[in-house]
Amino acid sequence: MVARLLIGLVVIGAIVMFVRGMRGRAAAPAERRAVDARTVRCAHCQVYLPRDEAVVADGRSYCSREHAEQSRA
């Protein structure tokens, strides 16, 4: 009788932990996509930076004016 109760509690605990873990995994990719949508990669040095701080030249994003000029040369 006590063994069945303990086994039942362990099974319920495992189910609760599984459901909580699945919720965390489902939220993570959406958050990651939101961050990626706001960042760009420098065409010269491959560093990621916020889109609003990027220097755009020839349709490409750069982290600085120097890198934009170096890529043109």
Whether residues 46 and 72 share a domain: the answer is yes
In the block, residue with structure tokens 């491959």: 46
Res 34: pLDDT = 52
Question: In total, how many domains does the chain have?
Answer: 2
Whether residues 29 and 51 share a domain: the answer is no
- How is residue 30 written in tokens? 């959406």
Whether residues 29 and 44 share a domain: the answer is no
Whether residue 71 contacts residue 60, with contact meaning beta carbons closer than 8 Å, is answered with: yes
Provide the domain limits for residue 47.
Answer: 39-73
Q: Could you read off the pLDDT tens digit of each residue along the chain, which spans 73 residues?
A: 889 999 999 999 999 999 888 776 655 555 555 556 688 999 999 999 999 999 999 999 999 999 999 988 7
Q: Which residues, at least 6 apart from 48, have a Cβ–Cβ distance to it below 8 Å?
A: 39, 40, 41, 42
The 3-state DSSP class for residue 1 equals coil
Res 23: pLDDT = 74
pTM of the full predicted structure? 0.50
Whether residues 17 and 33 share a domain: the answer is yes
Whether residues 2 and 27 share a domain: the answer is yes
Whether residues 68 and 48 share a domain: the answer is yes
